Amino acid sequence: MAHFALQKLHLLPSQIVNLPKEEKIFVYASIIKRIEAEKEEQDKIKKKAQSTGRGRRKR
């Protein structure tokens, strides 16, 4: 999660470490929600591509 915070949220590890416990919990919960939403969106795109025949061909 620290990698996500650095790459997507531009939070340095020292910034995360120095957050109060409640704020860390909130940030981590928000990261989890965002990752889940992005995964769901990717799954929808894959399903749509497969149903229209635009996905990778299976051999």
pLDDT tens-digit readout, 4-55: 888 888 889 999 999 999 999 999 999 999 999 999 999 999 998 888 776 5
CA 50 remoteness from chain centre: 23
Domain boundaries, the chain: 2-50
**Buried/exposed code over 27-49 (b: 16+ C-beta within 10 A; e: otherwise):** bbeebeeeeeeeeeeeeeeeeee
pLDDT tens-digit readout, 23-35: 999 999 999 999 9
